[in-house]
Chains A and B, each alone.
Chain A
Amino acid sequence: MNTVTTVNGKRRKVKRKGSFKDNLQLLSMALPTILLLAVFNYAPMFGLVLAFKDYKVPSGIFGSPWAGLKNFEFFLKSQDAWRITRNTLGLNFLFIIAGIICGVIFALIMFEVKKAHQVKIYQTISILPSFLSWVAVGYIVYSLLDPTKGILNQIIKAFGGEGISWYSEPQYWPVILLITKIWQSVGLGSIIYYAALMGVDQELYEAAEIDGANKLQKTWYVSLPQIVPIIIIMGLLEVGKIFRADFGLFYNVTRNVGALYPTTDVIDTYVFRALMNQGNIGMSSAVGLFQSVVCFITLMVTNAIVSKISPDNALF
């Protein structure tokens, strides 16, 4: 009797979702990933209570006394709150818009290259900068902008102008960072649009041609409308991450020069300095919590919009 039920039970399970043994084996295969995520991703989430604590090393995260909202107050009362939020949002917004425009234009021009091997050569070269770490990009920007030896000042002087000490003039940096970011990412960023263009039905172009459309008209009336959905989706996905700054860019390319903070200090670099230089754990984790929560909300909102437009492209 007993055996029959187990056999029956087993058979039912096999039909539905696999045996206990299979599932145990499968689960054991996922175990390293689960453990790593638990330790390095989930544990820090709980560590966010630090934002409400007065952290003392010997008492640990949970043993430290509560600080209420003191950490937040300290941050909000400082002048930095507005500055770093503005810089993060403003610069990221600039990067998103310019990144999309340049990426799409780049892809459209790439689409005009008809020979496959030429496409490959151009792509290889344009992706080259994406292979570099931000540290290496920092060196390259330095070779251009160093006030005495940099190439840019040499050019300015050759035309009779006066050299600019770039690393102490914050007003130029939004543009410098924008150009650097585009230079580094446009080749790679355009690939997604190029792939979308490759997927456009060839007949549309033939039809346009029969109607006497020239190259520019074909681009404007056929290519572009065809890739608008992917443009919108990529844009929304980027906007979802707008509260997270690319730490490497802002830290290495500016060489962490204090004079540039007014326009280049973002939430991520600010948190880093508050933690490493001032050892202000309470305040830095308060800012971190603020960032995580806002970031989570924007992601949820943008993803909700994306899943309305195109469920296939939604993150979840």
Chain B
Amino acid sequence: MKKQTTTVSIIRRKKEKTSIWVHLFFIVFAIICIVPFVTVISASFSNETDLALYGFSVLPREVDLTAYAYLFRNPEMIINAYVVTIIITAAGTFFGVLFMAMAAYCLARSNFRYTKALTFFIFFPTLFSGGMVPSYIINTQYLHLTDNLLALILPSLINVFHVIMLRTFFKQLPESLFEAAKVDGASEYYIFAKIALPLSKPVIATVAFLGALTKWNEWYNAMLYIRSDDLVPLQYMLQRMMMNIQTLLDAMQYAPSMVDITDLPGENLRMAMLVVAIGPMMLFFPFFQKYFTKGMTVGAVKG
């Protein structure tokens, strides 16, 4: 008994002093993580002439709102990109989670006869894939998804690892619940909607969050399938701007001759665009962090 208390007290003492070096390490790392963001924000509030003369800096030499003024004078493009992004994120997450949960429920039920075959069918695409070229040909030549928002929603709707995560969770629910409902004459649809889903909020939230994040960050399929300016999601708009700033100026319909050339925004506009595109996300982020960590640890465990 006495020995135990001494050990505890040793640990307690150790606990109290997390080494200063450990804190120092994380403070330095935090700075490395955050400084790039600050630089970007600072650049967006800088004057283009300052940027051209002195380059990027952690703090702006002089706060200048030209870039934002440009952006918000013709906000259609940003608003449009936001709308597209919100549509694909909302639709993609909702239907993705619904379909994946239904399939996972099917795999988790002990009265389902084809568990093995269906598991194989769902899992095999993670081992072997047709790759970019056949997908591109099929989606453009056969499904005619060019310039169709469905091209940004459908191909990435099902994430096999999320199906497995959901199935693992459903399997842990007590079988007796399902059986009791069966005895009362409930259909499988009813059991899924009224029993399985409400009990699975944590895993649903995790999958929904991870799904929403990938859809929010979607640019790859947009790059392959979207040509029309009206259907460009945020990240793809950013990408096009990275490759060519003129894209942005053209889209905002600024005739360069009308403005003083030295004042024409370039880098600051680029960075302002980035801030407007990722800023809101970054503000929400800390609230969802736990789902991210959970997804990481749960996802690594096979069902």
Chain A interface (Cβ < 8 Å from any Cβ of B): 17-19, 22-23, 25-27, 29-30, 32-34, 36-37, 39-48, 50, 55, 57, 60-61, 109-110, 112-115, 118, 120, 122-133, 135-136, 138-140, 142-144, 146, 148-151, 153-154, 183, 187-188, 191-192, 195, 205-206, 209-210, 215, 234, 247-248, 252, 255-256, 268, 271-272, 275-276, 281, 284-285, 288-289, 291-292, 295-296, 299-300, 312-316
**Chain A to chain B: the 3 pairs with minimum beta-carbon distance, closest first:** A18-B111, A47-B134, A44-B130
Given contacts A25-B187, A143-B36, is CB(A271)–CB(B129) below 8 Å?
no
A311 to chain B, nearest CB (A): 9
Assembly CA distance A124 to B34 (angstroms): 11
CB contact between A296 and one of B16, B109, B127 (< 8 Å): that residue: B127
B30 within 8 A of A: yes
- A sample of 25 cross-chain residue pairs with beta-carbon separation below 8 angstroms, ordered by A number, consists of A17-B111, A30-B103, A32-B103, A33-B99, A34-B103, A42-B125, A44-B135, A61-B137, A113-B23, A122-B26, A128-B33, A131-B285, A135-B219, A140-B40, A154-B56, A154-B57, A188-B292, A191-B293, A192-B300, A195-B297, A206-B11, A248-B220, A252-B239, A285-B131, A292-B131
Assembly CA distance A23 to B274 (angstroms): 50
Q: Beta-carbon contacts of B199-228 to A below 8 Å, as 1s and 0s? A: 000000000000001000101100010000
Decide if B289 touches A123 in the complex (CB within 8 Å).
yes
Assembly CA distance A135 to B241 (angstroms): 10
CB contact between B18 and one of A19, A43, A114, A136 (< 8 Å): that residue: A114
A residues within 8 A CB of B121? 34, 37
CB contact between B274 and one of A127, A139, A315 (< 8 Å): that residue: A139
Q: How many residues of chain B have a CB within 8 Å of chain A?
A: 102
B81 within 8 A of A: no
B residues within 8 A CB of A42? 125
Given contacts A29-B105, A33-B102, is CB(A268)–CB(B39) below 8 Å?
no
B70 within 8 A of A: no
Q: Which candidate, B59-67, B152-160, B256-264, is the interface stretch facing chain A?
A: B152-160
Decide if B56 touches A149 in the complex (CB within 8 Å).
yes
Decide if B125 touches A41 in the complex (CB within 8 Å).
yes
Decide if A29 touches B7 in the complex (CB within 8 Å).
no
B238 within 8 A of A: yes
A residues within 8 A CB of B15? 114
A residues within 8 A CB of B158? 33, 36-37, 40
Assembly CA distance A27 to B154 (angstroms): 20
CB contact between B130 and one of A47, A110, A132, A142 (< 8 Å): that residue: A47
B175 to chain A, nearest CB (A): 12
B22 within 8 A of A: yes
Decide if B285 touches A128 in the complex (CB within 8 Å).
yes
Assembly CA distance A195 to B191 (angstroms): 34
Assembly CA distance A57 to B142 (angstroms): 10
Assembly CA distance A82 to B267 (angstroms): 37
A residues within 8 A CB of B58? 151
Decide if B271 touches A143 in the complex (CB within 8 Å).
yes
Closest A residue by C-beta to B239: A135
B100 within 8 A of A: yes
Additional pairs, 12, CB under 8 Å, beyond known A23-B112, A39-B143, A248-B220: A17-B113, A22-B109, A23-B111, A47-B137, A118-B18, A129-B33, A130-B292, A131-B282, A188-B296, A209-B11, A276-B224, A315-B302
Q: Beta-carbon contacts of B23-41 to A below 8 Å, as 1s and 0s? A: 1011001101110110110
Decide if B26 touches A113 in the complex (CB within 8 Å).
yes
Decide if B122 touches A256 in the complex (CB within 8 Å).
no
Closest A residue by C-beta to B189: A25
A152 to chain B, nearest CB (A): 10
Decide if B39 touches A109 in the complex (CB within 8 Å).
no
Closest B residue by C-beta to A115: B18
Given contacts A37-B121, A195-B297, A248-B220, is CB(A292)–CB(B137) below 8 Å?
no
